[in-house]
Amino acid sequence: MGLVVQKEDLSKMGKKKGLLLAGFLVSLIIALLFSNPLEAVAGVCYGQVVGIEFSTLQVRGENGKVSVFWCGYKTSVDSRPPLIGDKVKIEYVKDFLQRNAVTRIAVVR
């Protein structure tokens, strides 16, 4: 009868260890996914505003390509908010959703 009790205790301990190991591995994977070792590199775009929709700007660059930029609460406006047809200088970074997030915008005369 003593052997039966020991086997049950060992199987319970094995389940606990397995559960702890699985929890540790899941936590490690989540921590690695949320850590971003890359630093944001700022890009600069010169162009003309061709569209404004809520917090996004559509800018036609000097090469003729239209790019979309997202403005948020961290966006710094140097002179005044741009209007359609204004020439602008935009400094931006890629955010965690891989969007062009504007850090500074200036209307160029």
Q: What is the pLDDT of residue 52?
A: 93
CA atoms of 109 and 102, how far apart (whole Å): 19
In CATH terms, 43-108 corresponds, of 3.40.50.300, 3.40.50.720, 2.40.50.140, 2.40.50.320, to: 2.40.50.320
Mean pLDDT score of the chain: 84
Q: Are 78 and 57 in contact (CB under 8 A)?
A: no
In this prediction, residue 6 has a pLDDT band, given cuts at 50, 70 and 90, of: low
Greater model confidence, 8 or 75: 75
- Going from N- to C-terminal start, the domains of the chain cover 1-35, 43-108
β pairing state of 56-61 and 66-70: antiparallel
φ, ψ dihedrals at 31, nearest 5°: -65, -40
pLDDT band at 7 (very low <50, low <70, confident <90, very high): low
pLDDT digits (tens, 9 = 90+) for 8-59: 665 666 788 888 899 999 999 988 877 766 666 789 999 999 999 988 999 9
Report the pLDDT value the prediction gives residue 23, as an integer from 0 to 100: 92
> What integer pLDDT is reported at residue 9 of this predicted model?
60
Residue 51: the pLDDT is 94
